[in-house]
Amino acid sequence: MKTEKPEKTKIAAASAAHRIAVTGLLAALTLALSFVERTICAALPLPPGVRPGLSNVAVMFSCIALGLPFALGIIVVKAGFVMLVSGVSAGAISVCGGVLSVLSVALLARLAKKRLSYIGISVVSAVLHNAGQLIAASFLVGSALYLWMAPVLLISGVAFGAVTGILLNAVLPALLKIVPHVNKDKL
């Protein structure tokens, strides 16, 4: 599907400064989404540790459109935010989940180019996000209590991962309008 060849010249024009500015924009979006999600989830009867992960929409987009380093930057910003709001251990848990999740997105975007849609990538990303959080929590709490939650988090990862994948599908045109100068070949 290499019909949009002229775009390639624009990528060259997209400077590092531009990319960093876009990263900042996406980081802000990530924080906003995760804040909204926290507020909504407080009112929902979800089991402990289960959250939809809406902000993953922005993180996935940045990982695919801008590249892994930029997505990792967003993860660090988000973890810093979580740390300020909920403490150091919550921040550490957030980093572990985020890094594992972003690595899986980068890997799948490269390896399974045409095999997986955003839904599949998002599902894997959400499941690994939960897995990373669970592993970090198990280490921090010093008990394997959290591994007991594994099946629930696995299923919720699949379910909410599919939801965020579909959301990414839906908002992709809008995101591209905000951030036009990205390598669309990778999307």
Partner 1 sequence: MIDRIKPKKADLILILLLLAAAFSLLLARGRGDALTAEITVNGVSENSIDLRAVESPYDITLQNGVRLHVEPGGISFAESDCRGKDCVRCGVLKRAGQAAACVPNQTLVLLTGKPQKGAPDAVSY
Partner 2 sequence: MFRADRARVASAAAAVIVCIVFLFSACGAESASGSSFAMGSVLTARIYADADAAQPVLNDIYSGVNALDRLISATDEQSEISRLNASGSGVCSEDTLRVLSDSLALCRALNGRLDITLGAVTSLWGFAGDAPRLPAAEEISAALQTKGPDKVQIKNDTVTLGGGQKLDPGAVGKGAGCDVACGVLKNAGLPAVISFGGTVLLYGQKPGGSWSVGLRDPFGGQQDYFATLSFAPETGDSAVFISTSGSYEKTFTENGKTYHHILDPDTGYPVETDLIAVTAVGENGLTADALSTALFVNGLNETSLGWINSHLTGAAFVFSDGRVYVTPGLRDAFSLTDEARFTLTENYD
Q: Which positions from 124 through 163 interact with partner 1, judged by CB under 8 A?
A: 124, 127, 143-148, 150-151, 154-155, 157-158, 162
Interacting residues toward partner 2 by CB under 8 A = 47, 50, 151-152, 155-156, 158-160, 162-163, 166-167, 169-170
Decide whether 12 or 174 has the Cβ nearer to partner 2: 174
CA atoms within 13 A on the CB side of 183: 12
73 binds partner 1 (CB under 8 A): no
Cα distance between residue 40 and residue 2, in whole Å: 41
**Partner touching 160 among partner 2, partner 1, none, CB below 5 to 8 Å by kind:** partner 2
Rg (CA), the chain: 17
Q: Smallest Cα–Cα separation from 162: which of 113, 122, 132, 128? A: 122
Q: Smallest Cα–Cα separation from 158: which of 181, 117, 129? A: 129
Cα distance between residue 109 and residue 4, in whole Å: 19
In one-letter notation, the amino acid at residue 57 is V
Quick one: which of 4, 21, 40, 86 contacts partner 1 (CB under 8 A)?
Answer: 4
Decide whether 57 or 75 has the Cβ nearer to partner 2: 57
Residues that bind partner 1 (CB under 8 A): 1, 3-4, 112-121, 123-124, 127, 143-148, 150-151, 154-155, 157-158, 162, 169, 172, 184-187
